[in-house]
């Protein structure tokens, strides 16, 4: 993890397989993923050295602010970036198979059969001129050699499973005839129609009302139990993460700054940015706090990521590190089993700050 | 000419602690409210054909009543499409109400022409949801924030610049950025520019429509704190429209919950969140994901089925009955009036949760009185008169 690759591998040519690093044991393992976009304004380093692993039956919540690289990461795993304008390097191992270096055909074959995605805006990923049923049937038949009739029955089943009332009738509706919540359900039905082992949900409920969001989160939870899929849940809502995830990855400026079990992330977070997120949020489950504790400043541009720790211009503790925060990029280090944090501040000091300065004010 | 919200909004005297919806608009604190809204409604016509004949109406807002006092923040929550923005735009007189009355500082402003409204424009200001589209991209910050000064010709150009820079400083922006354009700012900064523009005329009432929902959580907190500081400093009164129940709880003193064009519950913030009475409020609160993994289990979860029905054809009587787990026959027959079941806590439900003994009887009585008043032609607020008994 975190091994420095020569810059040449960023030019988009397939990376030769894992020099020296052993094949992973996890179901999904991402190693030092970098996704850069050359633009007129400069190189956008949307993802810049991301590593994590995920087992089947588990849910990883990825949180971060707008533009931190969450969606670029998920599209990268699914191999959906156009190789002509996205420079992808690193390794993505799905059940022992490496995807960054695999052929586009191979990745396309895996997509829909072993991995699927739910997007924030179902309208943009459903075709407006085809019925919901036809789209599910089509997706199913690409990977399953069955008759149209069998596929249609499967589509009706799936719509029923995700809670669409009268699925045998609604299967012939067009997407615009569905409400926002129903479209999101239909997209989940489409994504799940091939029993994917890896499901990536990118802000699946952000556009929905809270009561409908609750229905969809219940649905994802139930389906995971049934299919034992690995789920990556991308969201900016810490509440959604806490409800659904086993583990959390906090992203900032294209990198992960903290990875932990959901328990550790909420009860013993050890990165100043994670503290900032927790302090910014008004909470219904606590006494109303007199004042929120925002993070100062704004997230950085990914063309000009601050030197050293990308969070340093906004971090209240940057000056405690004798200049290291501004000059040296902190690497993700395991501080406790399963808990990795990238920060120069001495661990004991961070534990103490959390206990005495942050927690009491939340 | 009606000067206070009480007059002309009469129903028969309330029985017990049961108070009619019209009275919900009455001052709950001493003195006259800054803003009072009574039986306010907006029906958007739906037209068809070449002759643009009206074939139906979107009942976006259908008889809402509330009052806001000086220095207070009223939160207006509800799911998308329930009529929050439409209510705000009617108060601003950006939209003409279909019925009902808006009283500002004791003056009925419902029927004022745009010209008559002009002097009031200073006092009533709105902050919009989208910090990107609500600023003219071709104008500098100085021009945007200074526009109200120039429009009202209250200051010299030198004076305008100084005033704008003071405002920029007040909202936490660099006064040196006077000549910059909106695209040079981040979302949170643009929302600050919008707030500075709003403050330019020292308004008395600010209607903030989803002021933070387009912002990242860390920036959201900055803007919420700013709104709170400005309120303290400038003695502002807010109506904050939002769908995020946590944000609303944080910034509001009182909260009104809307469903399909109606207020179903209105109460003091602490009361509403601690002991919500309307089933819909209960469902909303239990649907909010809680950022604490230990609370995943053991939490009461109310799950509503289906979606919000269309405001084109809202369900009769209690509009929530198609999704309510407590619904009974009466809910489909008689619209429950908004009744004060605890001091300052009004709810519109035949079978409220967390309610004192005898609530159902009180609601039934208030409904009967309302309907009797309607039948005998006694004056009632328009919104109420429309309620009435409807057979399915
Ligand atoms: N095709 C592209 N060309 C150039 N830059 C891109 C491209 N796609 C994404 N980016 C940039 O990469 C960064 C990360 O984008 P991404 O969509 O992953 O953010 P995100 O974390 O999903 O944010 P949000 O919460 O707003 O969805 C952004 O700065 C974005 O502008
Ligand atoms: N100009 C309009 N013409 C027709 N319908 C409208 C118009 N503006 C709003 N509506 C409808 O009125 C209802 C309430 O809208 P709105 O007040 O914007 O809801 P909210 O702000 O609570 O999300 C919605 O059904 C909306 O589609
Ligand atoms: S490395 Fe320095 S700037 Fe970065 S989070 Fe830690 S203390 Fe803050
Ligand atoms: S009046 Fe009846 S249907 Fe309406 S909220 Fe109350 S119990 Fe539910
Ligand atoms: Mg995204
Ligand atoms: Mg709105």
pLDDT digits (tens, 9 = 90+) for B281-305: 999 999 999 999 998 877 778 888 7
* Range picked from A159-163, A286-290, B34-38, B50-54 for highest mean pLDDT: B34-38
The pair of structure tokens assigned to A201 is 């949900």
Q: Work out how many domains chain A is built from and give that number.
A: 3
Please judge whether A281 and B189 are an interchain contact, meaning their C-beta atoms are less than 8 angstroms apart. no
Interface list for A 51-110 with B (CB within 8 A): 65-66
**Which residue did the predictor score with more confidence, B390 or A355?**
A355
Do A273 and A357 lie in one domain? The reply is yes
- Domain assignment present for A231: yes
In this structure, are A106 and A42 located in the same domain?
yes
Which residues, listed in sequence order, are joined to residue B115 by a DSSP beta bridge?
Answer: none
Are both A50 and A95 inside the same structural domain? Answer: yes
If phi over 0 gives left and psi between -120 and 50 gives alpha, with beta otherwise, what is residue B150?
Answer: alpha
> Is A323 within the bounds of a domain?
yes
Q: Which of A133, A162, A195 is the last residue of a domain?
A: A195
The whole-model pTM stands at 0.86
Gap between the Cα atoms of A2 and A279, Å rounded: 30
Chain A residue with minimum CA distance to B296: A243
Tokens of B174: 């660099």
| Cβ burial A195-227 (10 Å sphere, 16+ → b, else e) | ebbbbbbbbbbebbbbbbbbbbbbbbeebbeeb
Parse chain B into domains and list their residue ranges.
Answer: 137-201
Residue A261 located in a structural domain: no
Q: Is residue A2 part of a domain?
A: no
Place of tokens 């079978």: B351
Are residue A340 and residue A219 in the same domain, yes or no?
no
Query: Per-residue pLDDT tens for B323-364?
Result: 999 999 999 999 999 999 999 999 999 999 999 999 999 999
Interface pTM (ipTM) of the complex? 0.86
Instruction: Please report the atom of ligand 4 found closest to the CA of residue B331.
Output: 2
pLDDT at A277: 96
User: In this complex, do A210 and B186 lie within 8 Å of one another by their Cβ atoms?
Assistant: no
Question: With pLDDT > 90 as the criterion, what percentage of chain B qualifies?
Answer: 61
Residue B24 has pLDDT above 50, yes or no: no
Q: Which of residues 252-271 of A touch B (CB under 8 A)?
A: 262-263, 266-267
Using one digit for the tens of pLDDT, what is the confidence trace for B222-252?
999 999 999 999 999 999 999 999 999 999 9
Contact between A312 and A257 under an 8 Å Cβ cutoff? The reply is no
Q: Are A109 and A51 contained in the same domain?
A: yes
Q: What is the DSSP letter of A178?
A: S
Dist CA B163 CA A278 (whole Å): 36
Average pLDDT over residues B242-265: 96
- pLDDT above 90: residue A272: yes
What CA–CA distance (Å, rounded) separates A64 from A14?
Answer: 29
Task: Give residue A204's domain range.
Answer: 24-114+198-245
| Same-domain pairing of A135 and A72 | no
Q: What is the pLDDT of residues B185-200, one digit of tens each?
A: 888 888 899 999 998 8
Which distant-in-sequence residues (6+ apart) come within 8 Å of A85 by Cβ?
A37, A38
Q: Which of A284, A300, A361 to mutate to test binding with chain B, by most B CBs within 10 Å of its CB?
A: A284
Distance in Å, CA A250 to ligand 5 centroid:
14
Are A187 and A206 in the same domain? no
CB distance B208 to B240 below 8 Å: yes
Name the 3-class secondary structure at B126.
Answer: strand
Label residue B375 by pLDDT band (50, 70, 90).
confident
Q: Where are the alpha helices (DSSP H) in B314-356?
A: 329-333
Residue A212 belongs to some domain of the structure? yes
CA distances from B253 to B6, B70, B71 (A): 22, 12, 10
Q: Is the pLDDT of residue B9 over 50?
A: no
Residue-wise pLDDT tens digits, B145-158 = 998 888 776 667 78
Residue A295 in contact with partner chain B when CB distance is under 8 A: yes
A224 and A99 in one domain? Answer: yes
Q: Is pLDDT above 90 for A287?
A: no
Asked whether residue A336 is assigned to any structural domain, the reply reads yes
Determine whether the interchain pair A292/B247 forms a contact, defined as Cβ–Cβ distance below 8 Å.
no
Residue A335 within any structural domain of the chain = yes
Same domain (yes/no): A49, A160:
no
**DSSP-derived pairing of the beta strands B345-347 and A87-94:** unpaired
Flag whether residue A282 sits within 8 Å of chain B, measured between CB atoms. yes
CA distances from A46 to A87, A92, A94, A229, A251 (A): 10, 16, 22, 27, 11
CA B43 to CA A84: how far, in whole Å? 52
Which among B280, B27, B293 is positioned nearest to A247, based on CA atoms?
B293
**In chain A, which ranges are E strands?**
28-39, 42-54, 59-63, 87-94, 97-98, 115-118, 198-202, 230-235, 247-252, 255-261, 333-336, 339-341
Q: Which of A35-49, A345-359, B116-130, B315-329 has the lowest mean pLDDT?
A: B116-130
pLDDT at A31: 96
With residue B277 as reference, give the H or E element that holds it. none
Q: What is the mean pLDDT of chain B?
A: 86
| Residue B277: Cβ within 10 Å count | 27
Residue B80: which of A209, A215, A245 has the nearest Cβ?
Answer: A209
Burial B54-73 (b: 16+ CB within 10 A, else e): eeebbbbbbbbbbbbbbebb
Of A241, A262, A284, the CB nearest to B246: A284
Cα A46 to Cα A251: distance, rounded to the nearest angstrom: 11
CA distance A157 to B96: 48
pLDDT value at residue B30: 57
Answer whether residue A205 is part of any domain. Answer: yes
pLDDT at A76 over 80: yes
Name which of A39-53, A58-72, A106-120 the model is least confident about: A106-120
């Amino acid at each position: 993890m975190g091994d420095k690759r020569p810059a040449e591998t960023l030019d988009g040519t397939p990376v030769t397989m894992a020099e020296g690093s052993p094949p992973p044991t996890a179901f999904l393992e991402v190693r030092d993923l970098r996704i850069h976009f050359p633009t007129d304004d400069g190189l956008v380093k949307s993802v810049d050295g991301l590593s994590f692993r995920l087992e089947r039956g588990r849910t990883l919540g990825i949180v971060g602010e707008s533009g931190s690289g969450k969606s670029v990461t998920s599209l990268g795993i699914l191999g959906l970036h156009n190789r002509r304008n996205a420079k992808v390097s690193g390794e993505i191992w799905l059940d022992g198979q490496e995807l960054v270096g695999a052929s586009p055909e191979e990745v396309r074959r895996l997509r829909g059969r072993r991995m699927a995605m739910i997007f924030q805006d179902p309208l943009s990923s459903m075709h407006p001129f085809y019925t919901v049923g036809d789209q599910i049937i089509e997706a199913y038949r690409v990977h399953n050699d069955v008759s149209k009739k069998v596929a249609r029955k499967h589509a009706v089943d799936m719509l029923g499973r995700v809670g669409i009332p009268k699925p045998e009738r609604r299967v012939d509706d067009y997407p615009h005839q569905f409400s926002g919540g129903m479209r999101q359900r239909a997209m989940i039905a489409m994504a799940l129609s091939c029993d994917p082992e890896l499901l990536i949900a990118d802000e699946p409920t952000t556009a929905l009302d809270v009561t409908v969001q609750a229905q969809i989160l219940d649905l994802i939870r139930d389906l995971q139990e049934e299919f034992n899929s690995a789920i990556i849940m991308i969201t900016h809502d810490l509440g959604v993460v806490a409800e659904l995830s086993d583990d959390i990855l906090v992203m900032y400026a294209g990198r992960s700054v903290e990875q932990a079990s959901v328990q550790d992330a909420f009860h013993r977070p050890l990165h100043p940015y994670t503290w900032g997120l927790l302090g910014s949020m008004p909470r219904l489950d606590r006494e109303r706090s007199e004042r929120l504790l925002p993070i100062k400043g704004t997230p950085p541009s990914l063309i000009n990521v601050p030197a050293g720790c990308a969070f340093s211009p906004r971090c209240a503790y940057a000056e405690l590190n004798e200049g290291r925060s501004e000059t040296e990029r902190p690497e993700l280090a395991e501080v406790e089993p399963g808990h990795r944090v990238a920060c120069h501040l001495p661990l004991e000091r961070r534990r103490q700050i959390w206990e005495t300065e942050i927690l009491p004010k939340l | 000419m009606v000067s206070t919200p009480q007059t002309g909004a009469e129903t028969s005297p309330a029985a017990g602690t049961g108070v009619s919806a019209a009275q919900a608009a009455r001052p709950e604190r001493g003195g006259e409210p800054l803003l009072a809204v009574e039986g306010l409604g907006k029906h958007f016509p739906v037209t068809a054909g070449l002759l643009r004949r009206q074939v139906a109406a979107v009942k976006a807002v259908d008889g809402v009543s509330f009052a806001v006092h000086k220095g207070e923040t009223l939160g207006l929550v509800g799911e998308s499409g329930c009529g929050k923005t439409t209510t705000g735009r009617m108060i601003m007189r950006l939209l003409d109400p279909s019925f009902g009355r808006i009283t500002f500082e004791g003056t009925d402003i419902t029927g004022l022409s745009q010209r008559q409204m002009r002097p009031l424009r200073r006092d009533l200001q709105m902050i919009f949801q989208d910090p990107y589209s609500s600023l003219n991209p071709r104008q500098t910050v100085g021009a945007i924030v200074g526009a109200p000064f120039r429009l009202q010709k209250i200051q010299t150009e030198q004076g305008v610049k100084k005033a704008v820079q003071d405002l920029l400083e007040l909202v936490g922006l660099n006064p040196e950025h006077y000549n910059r354009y909106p695209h040079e700012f981040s979302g949170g900064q643009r929302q600050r520019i919008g707030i500075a523009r709003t403050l330019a005329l020292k308004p008395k009432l600010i209607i903030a429509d989803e002021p933070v929902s387009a912002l990242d959580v860390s920036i959201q907190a900055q803007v919420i704190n700013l709104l709170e500081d400005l309120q303290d400093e400038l003695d502002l009164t807010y109506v904050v429209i939002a769908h995020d129940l946590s944000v609303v709880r944080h910034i509001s003193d009182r909260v009104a919950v809307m469903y399909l064009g109606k207020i179903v519950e209105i109460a003091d913030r602490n009361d509403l969140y601690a002991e919500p009475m309307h089933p819909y409020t209960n469902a909303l609160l239990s649907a909010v994901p809680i950022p604490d993994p230990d609370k995943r289990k053991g939490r009461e979860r109310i799950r509503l089925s289906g979606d919000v029905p269309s405001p084109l054809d809202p369900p009769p009587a209690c509009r929530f009955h198609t999704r309510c787990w407590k619904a009974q026959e009466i809910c489909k027959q008689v619209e429950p009036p908004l009744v004060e079941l605890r001091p300052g806590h009004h709810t519109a439900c035949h079978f409220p949760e967390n309610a004192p003994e005898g609530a159902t009887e009180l609601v039934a009585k208030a409904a009967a009185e309302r309907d009797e008043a309607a039948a005998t032609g006694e004056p009632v607020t328009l919104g109420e008169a429309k309620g009435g008994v409807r057979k399915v």
